[in-house]
Chains A and B, each alone.
Chain A
């Protein structure tokens, strides 16, 4: 037996959460036609079908691109520090993809490694993630190549499987998730399934071997020629998490804020001395791959990539992790 919910009941539930002052975040069509995760004011704004995955990721609402850490007032020699208040708003993600949700436990490790990040942790605690398992994929998806897949449950509180246009099977994975759906589902003998997922497009073992020895490979220069040096891949990635801390204000006070930063920007590693250890775009492109497939895995035992494909899907020049690792794989095949 399975638990099911109709699409209209799900939307009614979302409206109920909104009425309870919860923040509801889900896929919504932007005026440009792109589907983006966004906060909605009415469940009718959600577009729950007809997209592969949004162009951004749910990370935006757990680790926002701009966040106040504290504010300060300067009065002569007196400096007063005022703590920023932590979020108190419960938030429900509806229609996250498995590749978004799976990024959450990956980010948990980062934000609780050498210190515990209150801002991040509070948002995580206040979040419930309702994931839609994937029936379809596009040419950019490569979850199956990075130990994930269309029904990866990591990070999800609930997974919904589409039975048909009107119904979802509900599988609650955590108490938090169960609480949201209790009393709102029906028993059914209908069984749902997911799509087969994308074909595996590179061999992780071979990639790892290459990375172990290939730091100085001329390949990095070749495959980065087309990179224009923007931050799209990192900012739309569910797992990229680098940030910069800056003060914004004037001589009487201001705020210390944390903003997203990108390893693809030439300023990212620029030292105060003027020296830049990653002064070329090939060094920066290489860094992103090493961080995801060697540095993070060596430290935390998992990949820093869920195969969502946003890095290629959103890339102005159609590059990204998939095409880079395919090029690596091709070079291994050709050169042994």
Chain B
């Protein structure tokens, strides 16, 4: 797979189809991977592909520093690729402006990341080229949201206590925001200070305000790549919050963000048939 990946990228660069390849590099096989931005076909050897390729590189498609490099090709797993679908739906990128190199992936992380255990996107769907082949399991909604279900067994008081404890650790470093492909606002609501809508303090109140706002802004948009959870330096399990909102979208609107490229985004579309009985 690696050779095919490198050859594909070499071709793309040599033929001038793209100006930059966004992929994974690694100092040595023991190290974590890091993003690489290959602009010279001679450097494709720097690309790696293995189960340490955790980062959802799609986040770079929103960054002005990367946009300024020209047309890009991006290495994407099936889960990452869903973010491209949403970005296109939200008019954040032209599908033709990026060449997607989809990687067949049976899961990443040592141990396997929680998202990979319930993943049904082993094979990319919308990529321009798919490298490798692996069986795509079907996963039912009960399995997908099993972690959430066990959390919801706790009483509301216990759950509140859990989030108070979690949010108390939050440093407001905004790694969750910065790594999220869907957080592309030029000025985030927490950075608006005239007037200040949300306390900038990393107090329990300020942290609650941030995490609730973040989760709600991702309603029907979060693709479940779990990057926010992976990058959190103090280990807050934001996955649970995201899952809760994703489950609502799936239950009430039969919608999963980024899964069906032809589906209308639920927040960006209106239908008289929309259910509203869950709004209380």
Contacts and interface: CB of A to CB of B under 8 A. Distances in A.
Same complex: yes
Given A65-B171, A259-B202, A36 B65 contact: no
B196 A246 contact: yes
In the A-B complex, list the 9 residue pairs whose CB atoms are closest, starting with the nearest: A32-B235, A316-B231, A230-B175, A231-B173, A230-B178, A318-B34, A226-B35, A228-B178, A314-B233
Contacts of A139: 30-31
Contacts of B66: 225
Contact of A248 (B31, B171, B178, B201): B201
Interface residues of B, number: 41
A257 B173 contact: no
A257 B196 CA distance: 14
5 contacts: A65-B171, A226-B35, A228-B59, A232-B231, A262-B173
Contacts of A120: none
B172 interface: yes
A31 interface: yes
A235 B171 contact: yes
A119 interface: no
A33 B171 contact: no
A66 B231 contact: no
B233 A232 contact: yes
Contacts of A267: 191
**Interface secondary structure of A, over-half rule:** loop
B261 interface: no
B171 A260 contact: yes
Contact of B173 (A36, A226, A235, A282): A235
B206 interface: yes
Contact of A30 (B34, B231, B235): B235
Interface string A10-45: 000000000000000000001111101000000000
Nearest to A236: B233
Interface string A134-164: 0000010000000000000000000000000
A235 B233 contact: yes
B196 A316 contact: no
A66 B169 contact: no
B233 A225 contact: no
Contacts of B234: 30, 34, 36, 55-56
A197 B55 CA distance: 30
Contacts of A32: 232, 235-237
Nearest to B205: A248
Interface of B: 30-37, 55, 59, 63-66, 169, 171-175, 177-179, 191, 193, 196, 199-203, 206, 227, 230-237
Contacts of A192: none
Contacts of B199: 248
Contacts of B236: 32
Contact of B175 (A30, A231, A259): A231
A265 B174 contact: yes
Contacts of B173: 230-232, 234-236, 262
Contacts of A236: 171, 173, 233
A128 interface: no
A121 to B, nearest CB: 22
Given A226-B34, A232-B173, 13 more contacts: A36-B234, A36-B235, A56-B233, A224-B65, A230-B177, A231-B171, A236-B233, A248-B201, A260-B202, A262-B173, A280-B64, A316-B55, A319-B34
Contacts of A33: 235
A30 B34 CA distance: 25
Contacts of A65: 171-172, 202
Contacts of B63: 228-229, 281
A221 B37 CA distance: 12
A259 B201 contact: yes
A281 B60 CA distance: 13
Contacts of A224: 65
A280 to B, nearest CB: 7
A196 B55 CA distance: 33
A317 B36 CA distance: 10
Contacts of A317: 34-35, 55
Contact of B37 (A55, A66, A226): A226
Contacts of B177: 230
Contacts of A246: 193, 196, 200-201
A281 B65 contact: yes
A56 B36 CA distance: 27
A184 to B, nearest CB: 32
B231 A230 contact: yes
Contact of A66 (B35, B191, B206): B206
A281 B35 CA distance: 15
Given A66-B201, A230-B178, A235-B173, A318 B33 contact: yes
Interface in A198-250: 221, 224-226, 228-232, 234-236, 244, 246, 248
Contacts of A30: 169, 234-235
Nearest to B177: A230
B202 A66 contact: yes
Contact of B179 (A225, A228, A248, A281): A228
A231 B174 contact: yes
Nearest to B66: A225
A246 B193 CA distance: 10
A205 B32 CA distance: 29
B35 A230 contact: no
